[in-house]
């Protein structure tokens, strides 16, 4: 039998056919399911607060969190001055921040949400090079509540500058930059962002829904859990002080933790512009650990432009 025909030609066709079939089943068919997924509020919040891409990209080649939007919490209308209760989130894109993946390709947000965002939200009038502000609005379609993205600069007349000024520095959050830190520092090698629906409800909270990821890149679920799931960590523990101590040195608050110290995210100076003396801090901490002193050294207050600040903003605002 062997050699009667051009074996490798037949073989190549067979391999191509089989691989094609399996790609059809595992890639082409599911693409219909993926495309029909409608974005939830969580999904819209993620895509708007994260910006275009987290990780290496044109706007952020060194993966330092450049070109990301600022998320602010507003309790009054920046234009009319009217109170907003409960406060809402607005997403400010300056001229350097390219639009998020969802706004860029509205079909990413699902057929209905994408359509609402264009028709009602006028997101097609935003572009990469002009500052713009987005909010998430709700509307009724056939008796059901739908969330969509609203171009507040066009619809409400909110300029980026006015929104930032109204909110003030203490209500601005660097969520996109914080998620960048999560990615570059490899937190996701230990933590997951995916409670399992079989048993994690009690401890780690509700697993995510189908529409919670639209427009997010990368999803960074994490496959290998050596530490608590973080998807809802801020709902369990929203203390900024705890987070600050824990990131500086986890063993200050949890002596048995194997989490690495992230003190280097503080950068060179603290909130008051004073240089942080890490070696002194470590020496004092070692004295504390060996029982020579009773109290651990104070954790320096992080500077507003430090990576620690962005990371804590992201943890407390996004992981609820």
Partner 1 sequence: MLLKLLFAKEEDIPPGSATIFFGYSAIFWFVVGTGLGSFNAAKLAFPDFVTGTEMFAFGHMRQVHVLAVILGWISMAFAMTMMYMTPALGNTKLWSEKLGLWNCFLWNIGLSLGLFLLWIGITSGREYSDLIWPIDLVVLVAVLLPLGINVWMTIAHRRTQGIYITNWFFGACTFMVMVTFVVGQAPELFNLTGLTEGYLTFWFAHNVLGLWITPVAAAIAYYTIPKLTGNPLYSHRIGHLHFWAIIAFYSTPASHHLLSAPLPEWLKSFASVEGVLILIPAVAFVANILLTMKGRWSMFVENIEIKFSVTGVLLAIPLNMQGGFQQTRAINWYVHGTGWIVAHAHLALLGMSTALEIAAVYFGLQQMLRRKLYSLALANFHYWFYIVGFCIYWISMTIAGLIQGAGKVYEVPYIDVVVAEHPYMIARWVGGTMVFTGNLVWLYNMWMTAREGTVLPKGRYSHELAYER
Asked if 227 interacts with ligand HEC (CB under 6 A), we say: yes
Shortest distance in whole angstroms from residue 222 CB to ligand HEC: 10
**Hey, what are 112's tokens?**
């209905």
* Residues 247-276 close enough to bind partner 1 by CB under 8 A: 250-251, 254, 256-264
Number of residues that bind partner 1 (CB under 8 A): 87
One character per residue 195-234, x = contact with partner 1 (rule: CB under 8 A) = xxxxxx-xx---xxxx-xxxxxxxxxxxxxxxxx------
CA–CA separation, 242 and 209 (whole Å): 29
* Residues 116-155 close enough to bind ligand HEC by CB under 6 A: none
Asked if 224 interacts with ligand HEM (CB under 6 A), we say: yes
CA–CA separation, 226 and 237 (whole Å): 19
Shortest distance in whole angstroms from residue 34 CB to partner 1: 5
Among partner 1, ligand HEM, ligand HEC, none, residue 184 binds (CB under 5-8 Å by kind): partner 1
Contacting residues for 219 by C-beta, under 8 A, at least 6 apart: 193, 213
Please name the residue that has the structure tokens 């998807």: 231
State which residue has the least CB distance to ligand HEC. Answer: 187
Please name the residue ranges forming H helices in the chain. Answer: 7-23, 29-36, 41-50, 101-104, 111-119, 152-155, 160-167, 175-184, 201-204, 233-236, 240-248, 278-289, 307-318
One character per residue 156-195, x = contact with ligand HEC (rule: CB under 6 A) = --------------------------x--xxx-xxx----
| Cis peptide bond prior to 218, omega within 30° of 0 | yes
**Hey, what are 13's tokens?**
């066709």
Among ligand HEM, partner 1, ligand HEC, none, residue 237 binds (CB under 5-8 Å by kind): ligand HEC
Asked if 221 interacts with ligand HEM (CB under 6 A), we say: no
| Burial zone of 174 (CB within 10 Å; 0-12 exposed, 13-18 middle, 19+ buried) | buried
Asked if 257 interacts with ligand HEC (CB under 6 A), we say: yes
Shortest distance in whole angstroms from residue 190 CB to ligand HEM: 7
Alpha-carbon Rg for the chain in angstroms: 24
Contacting residues for 74 by C-beta, under 8 A, at least 6 apart: 84, 87, 88, 89, 90, 163, 166, 167, 171
Binding residues vs ligand HEC (CB under 6 A) = 182, 185-187, 189-191, 226-228, 230, 233, 236-237, 250, 254, 257-260, 262, 311, 315
């Amino acid at each position: 039998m062997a050699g009667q025909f051009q074996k490798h030609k037949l073989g190549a066709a067979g391999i191509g056919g089989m691989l094609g079939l399996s790609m059809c089943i595992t890639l082409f068919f599911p693409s219909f399911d993926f495309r029909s997924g409608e974005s939830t509020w969580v999904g819209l919040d993620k895509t708007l607060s994260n910006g275009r891409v987290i990780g290496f990209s044109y706007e952020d080649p060194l993966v330092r969190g450049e070109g990301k939007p600022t998320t602010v919490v507003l309790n009054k209308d920046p234009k009319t001055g009217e109170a907003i209760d409960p406060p809402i989130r607005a997403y400010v894109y300056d001229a350097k921040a390219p639009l998020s993946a969802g706004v860029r390709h509205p079909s990413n947000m699902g057929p209905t949400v994408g359509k609402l965002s264009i028709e009602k939200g006028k997101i097609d009038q935003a572009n990469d090079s002009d500052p713009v502000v987005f909010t998430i609005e709700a509307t009724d379609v056939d008796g059901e509540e739908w969330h969509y993205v609203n171009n507040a600069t066009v619809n409400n007349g909110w300029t980026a500058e006015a929104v930032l000024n109204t909110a003030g520095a203490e209500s601005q959050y660097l969520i996109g930059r914080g998620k960048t830190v999560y990615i570059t520092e490899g937190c996701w090698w230990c933590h997951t962002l995916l409670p399992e629906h079989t048993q994690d409800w009690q401890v780690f909270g509700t697993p995510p829904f189908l529409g919670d990821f639209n427009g997010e890149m990368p999803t960074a679920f994490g496959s290998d859990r050596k530490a608590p799931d973080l998807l809802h960590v801020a709902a369990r523990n929203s203390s900024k002080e705890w987070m600050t101590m824990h990131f500086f040195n986890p063993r200050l608050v949890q002596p048995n933790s194997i989490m690495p110290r992230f003190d280097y995210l503080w950068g060179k100076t603290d909130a008051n512009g004073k240089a942080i003396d890490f070696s002194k801090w470590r020496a004092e901490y070692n004295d504390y650990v060996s029982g020579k002193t009773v109290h651990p050294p104070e954790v320096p207050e992080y500077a507003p432009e430090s990576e620690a600040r962005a990371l804590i903003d992201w943890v407390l605002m996004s992981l609820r």
